[in-house]
Structure 1
Amino acid sequence: MIACPTLQSEMTADGEQTLIPGVGPITMRDRLEVRIAAPLLPRKPQKPLDIGLFDEFGRNQLELF
Structure 2
Amino acid sequence: MSGHPPLDVETTPEGEQCLVPGVAPIRDRDRLAAFMAAPLRPRKAQKPLNIGLFDEDARNQLSLF
Q: TM-score, normalised by structure 1?
A: 0.69
CA distance, structure 2, for counterparts of residue 4 and residue 55 of structure 1: 61
Identity across matched positions, percent: 52
Number of matched residues?
Answer: 62
Q: Quick check: 1:13 aligned with 2:13? A: yes
2:35 is matched with 35
User: Secondary structure of the equivalent of 2:4?
Assistant: coil
Shift of 1:29: 0.7
Q: Which runs of 5 or more structure 2 residues have no equivalent in the other structure? A: none
Moved over 2 A (4+): 48-51, 53-60
- For the aligned residues, what is the CA RMSD? 2.3
Gaps of 5+ in 1: none
Over 3 Å counting, the alpha-carbon distance change for 1:46 and 1:2 in structure 2 is same
Q: TM-score, normalised by structure 2?
A: 0.69
Q: Give CA deviations for 1:23-42 in whole Å, capped at 9, x if unaligned.
A: 11110111011111111111
Change (3 A) 1:5 1:43: same
Cα distance change, pair 2–45 in 1 and its aligned pair in 2 (3 A): same
